[in-house]
Structure 1
Amino acid sequence: MIQGVQIDLISAERLDKLTMMEKIHLILDEVMEGNIVVLEKGLAPEEQSKLIEVTMREISPDGFAGIEMETYPVKEAQGGFLGKLFGGRRPETRLTVIGPANQLKTLRKDKDLISAWVSSSR
């Protein structure tokens, strides 16, 4: 049997085909199995909020410890203030890393790097 941590890389194309709740269940099911999930395209703010809300209901004292989630900072919309005011592009969500809180710890995060420590113990 192979020992270690499974990392699932999920494409933006696959995520775009799912509803908000399908995305949340896909992510949470994988993380509850002890896997690390990397999303090519990050979640929208309302999807992140819903993921946290659903996660909080799943936490148990002797089982699931919750999630750790890091996303690159959002890119600014094109066109500055006037572009935003008159319906310019919305800011792009970016790569997101999600894993079990007891296995994934963020060591450093800046505009173009997420450095994380992953423990294989569960």
Structure 2
Amino acid sequence: MAEITTEDGVQIDLVSGERMKKLRSMEKIRLILDGVRDGNIVILEEGLSPDEESKLIEVTMTEISPDEFAGIEIESYPQQEPNPGFFSRLFGHNPPNKLTVIGPANRIETLHKDKNLIRALVT
């Protein structure tokens, strides 16, 4: 994990897809939430599966407290499948997201998102 820090700034944790592949789902969620609870912005190279993203939101909701943890803000680019097959569509196979940006809800605000850009304000 690469860390970018500045004095009185924001720490950004850039997590490689290779590292995430070595972790089980709950380990991924803990890695993300521990970083965000510390006030860091976590950027995942390959993102989470839809099930993992749902579980991340579920676990986050149980940890929110008014004085300590405001929750998370999460934005992802969807993985682009050139032509998903019939069975993929039939069984609802959703590929994992690509780049995912996660940060503390009280420090990051998404200003704009489209297929080529995620613009966020970090305070």
- Using the aligned pairs only, state the percent identity: 59
Which residue number corresponds to residue 27 of structure 2?
22
- 1:29-44 mapped onto 2 (5 Å cutoff): 29-44=34-49
1:95 to 96, 99, 104: 99
Distance in 2 (CA, whole Å) between partners of 1:13 and 1:46 is: 19
What corresponds to 2:73 in structure 1? 68
Where in structure 1 are there 5+ consecutive unaligned residues?
none
Shift of 1:72: 1.0
Cα distance in 2 for partners of 1:109, 1:57 equals 27
Q: CA deviation at 1:63?
A: 1.1
| Equivalent residue letter for 1:79 | N
- In 2, the alpha carbon distance for the partners of 1:61 and 1:81 equals 45
TM-score (norm 2): 0.86
Deviations 1:14-66 (CA, angstroms, capped at 9, x unpaired): 00000000000000000000000000001000000110111111101111000
CA distance in 2, matches of 1:62, 1:92: 33
Structure 2 spans left out of the alignment, 5+ residues? 1-5
How big is the alpha-carbon RMSD for the aligned residues of Structure 1 and Structure 2?
A: 2.1
Instruction: Report the residue type matching 2:101 in the other structure.
Output: V
1:106 aligns with one of 101, 107, 110: 110
TM-score (ref. length: structure 1)? 0.86
Q: Does 1:7 align with 2:21?
A: no
Question: Which protein has the larger Cα radius of gyration, Structure 1 or Structure 2?
Answer: 1
Shift in CA distance, 46/83, structure 1 to aligned 2, threshold 3 Å: closer
